[in-house]
Amino acid sequence: MIRRADALLAFALVLCAAGFVAGGCGAPEAGGPAVAVRWENLTVPPATGPITHVLVRNLGNSTYRGTISVVCPASWKLNRTSASVTVRPRQTARVPFAIERGTNAESNSYPVRIEAAGNGRPVRRTQTIVCASAPYFKPQIDGKLDDWGAAIPATFVTGGKKTVIRTYWSRQNLSLMVAVEEAALHPPGAQPAAAGADAVQIAISPRNAKTPSHHACPPGRGGSATSAGAKARRYEFLLAAAGKQPGGKCFALIAPGQKLSLAQKARPLAGLELPGAQVAVVRKGGVTYYECSIPLKAMGSIRAAPGREICLSVLVHDGDGTGLRDWGEAAGLWPQQRNRLAWCLWQGAKWPKDPPFDNKIEWGFCSSKD
């Protein structure tokens, strides 16, 4: 006869085994970090005293309870330097910290540290965040580059080469200037054989937009199903040099409502030119400057006003140099945020083995950089 204690023990063992099996796809390896953390970029200058956020993603199958401690630049004062957090499995908490006193750095570069102490061993991360924000200004898109002094530069380095993103907004346009340090410029159609073409790819979305995951796990097992019918929630553009300097073109690759399956076809660019966009591309001193104004009328779900937030990301294609440069990497996105549905393929591009990072990265509008 089986004793009750033995039956209970057997039942408990069966439950544990079932839980292990039900852990599902994407479960962290045994001994892996319990959470992933990331400090979001600021979307208005720190001197205005905004709220800043730390993301905490629970990578495990049980609720995470812990404390998030942060270290900010010495010249800032936060309302608190630690916060308790409870995060359900596979969920992400967004923990706010108010900047009570902040200062703007000319470099627009702010070193920060995060420590999450909870289930398992502590998770620590050091990052350099930026103010990712577009001040109000109406630049002349003419290749002269002299209108960008009032912008807030977001700089990142890939393979030893610098990329600087500057943005402006006005009632009519969202303007960008992307400065790409590279050895040579080979626009689409003029790239060397076997090398990808040089261009800048931009994705802009409303702040609450999400990109469906390309992970193959069925729903409820730690991932989201890929859906052929899923629709884009972004506006995506490609800037490329064309003709004599400062000639350039802006191609509209996808818009909200279009099927994401479109993103997976390497389409020719001809016929995708965006009406009303102004582009100038010039080379100066080893840097290619892509200047562009995109009419806000072409992005109906984007409303520009001080304090508003959007998602914005940039890929730089340097086919014969560093390869793909990804703002998502510089912004500190997690490995699991790589997503092949996040960016459109196009003819002439050369893509690395790993998909680029998701394009849904915080960016904001502000009045001025001061």
CA distance 337 to 78: 28
C-alpha distance across the termini of the chain, in Å: 80
Rg of the chain (C-alpha set): 23
Instruction: Please say which residue, 64 or 137, places its beta carbon nearer to another protein.
Output: 137
- Closest to another protein by CB, 135 vs 319, is 135
Minimum distance, C-beta of residue 106 to another protein, in the bound complex (Å)? 6
Q: Does 307 bind another protein (CB under 8 A)?
A: yes
Q: Specify the residue for token string 């290749």.
A: 143
CB of 312 to another protein, least distance (A): 16
**Least CB distance to another protein at residue 168 (A):** 9
Pairing of the two strands 173-181 and 161-169: antiparallel
* Residue of 249, 218, 236 whose CA lies nearest to 358: 236
Instruction: Write the interaction track for another protein spanning residues 222-241; mark x where CB under 8 A is met and - where it is not.
Output: --------------------
Across 190-222, b (16+ Cβ under 10 Å) vs e yields ebeeebbbbbbbbbbbbeebebbbbbeeeeebb
Alpha-carbon gap, residue 190 to 125, rounded angstroms: 42
Nearer to another protein, 295 or 306 (CB): 306
- Give how many residues touch another protein by CB under 8 A: 26
| 3-class SS of residue 23 | coil
- Least distance between another protein and beta carbon 308 (Å): 5
Tell which positions 89-148 bind another protein, by CB under 8 A. Answer: 96, 98, 103-104, 106, 135-138
In the complex with another protein, the residue whose CB is nearer, 136 or 334, is 136
The reply on whether position 363 binds another protein by CB under 8 A is no
Alpha carbons 255 and 203: distance in angstroms, whole number: 10
Binding mask 158-197 for another protein (x = CB under 8 A): -------------x--------------------------
For another protein, which residue of 36, 42, 44, 263 counts as binding (CB under 8 A)? Answer: 44
The DSSP-derived string for 303-365 is ---TT-EEEEEEEEEETTTTEEEEHHHHTT--GGGB-TTSS--BTT----SSPPBPS--EEEE
Main-chain dihedrals φ then ψ at residue 181, nearest 5 degrees:
-75, 115
Minimum separation from the CB atom of position 367 to another protein (A)? 5
Q: Which of 264, 261, 204, 262 is nearest to 233 (CA)?
A: 204
Strands 362-365 and 133-134 turn out to be parallel
Closest contact distance (angstroms) between CB of 56 and another protein is 18
> Residue 98 or 266: which CB sits closer to another protein?
98
Q: How far apart are CA 139 and CA 173, in angstroms?
A: 10
Q: With binding defined as CB under 8 A, does residue 295 bind another protein? A: no
Q: Is 50 a binder of another protein (CB under 8 A)?
A: yes
78 in contact with another protein (CB under 8 A) = no
Nearer to another protein, 88 or 101 (CB): 101
**Nearer Cβ to another protein (187/364):** 364
Residues 146-165 that bind another protein (CB under 8 A): 150
Alpha-carbon span 186 to 319, nearest angstrom: 8
Question: Smallest distance from the beta carbon of 362 to another protein, in angstroms?
Answer: 13
Query: With binding defined as CB under 8 A, does residue 48 bind another protein?
Result: yes
Residues making contact with another protein (CB under 8 A)? 44, 47-51, 96, 98, 103-104, 106, 135-138, 150, 171, 305-309, 365, 367-368, 370
